[in-house]
Amino acid sequence: MGKKTKIFLYALAGLFLLIQIYPMEQPEVTDVNPDDLLKNVDISENVASMLKSACYDCHSNESTYPWYANIAPVKWWIYDHINQGREDLNFSVWNTLSKADQAEALDDIATAVMEGEMPLKPYPITHPKAKLSEEDKQAISDWTEILAEKLFE
Ligand code: HEC
């Protein structure tokens, strides 16, 4: 190995260690969520398990962190997605939303899923259970419509 290559590699390793110090708080996790969607609405096992495995890591207070999620720079990116995801839609506080907000969220969910925008790429690559087939997407979309209708009965 040439001297320049060595210096470059040491610098890279140093930089990697240095960025680990940069503080960024891990989004909090709790499994005590009495207002959670799955505890409060009519939902089939099938759709519930799809939401759990394809959405809950970013859209609930029950995020699970793989080991690489705690290593910078990946962690900056993952924590950011979770913070942003929860801000837009947090299934853990579903029952605290107004009916109008729930209806809007259901509509957004159907659109995001049918158009393949959600789950966010490349999440399904590392979480194979989050891959949704056309049939899965349709099942989620159908469920959002049924629930939205029930809201205003
Ligand atoms: C890897 C993290 C991640 C996963 C998994 C994920 N989302 Fe998101 N979601 C985000 C982020 C970040 C945003 C906000 C930024 C954006 O719109 O791209 C968002 C925004 C949204 C929005 C609001 C904005 C819009 O596009 O209408 C909806 C609705 C949504 N997600 C639904 C879902 C559903 C349903 C699932 C599961 C099928 C899911 N998401 C899975 C990260 C994620």
Average pLDDT over residues 81-105: 98
Whether the CB of 55 sits within 6 Å of ligand 1: yes
Distance between CA atoms of residues 48 and 147, nearest Å: 13
> Is the pLDDT score of 153 beyond 90?
no
- Angstrom distance (rounded) from CA 123 to CA 121: 5
Question: Ligand 1 pocket, 107 CB below 6 A?
Answer: no
Q: Whose CA is nearest to atom 10 of ligand 1?
A: 85
Residue at token pair 């801000």: 87
Q: How far is the CA of 86 from the centre of ligand 1 (A)?
A: 9
Task: Give the pLDDT score at 144.
Answer: 98
Interval 96-111: pLDDT, tens? 999 999 999 999 999 9
Percentage with pLDDT > 70 across the chain: 100
Q: Other CB atoms closer than 10 Å to residue 4's CB: what's the count?
A: 8
From the CB of 113, is ligand 1 less than 6 Å away?
Answer: yes
Query: Which residue from 37, 38, 55, 59 has its CB within 8 A of the most atoms of ligand 1, so it is best to mutate?
Result: 59
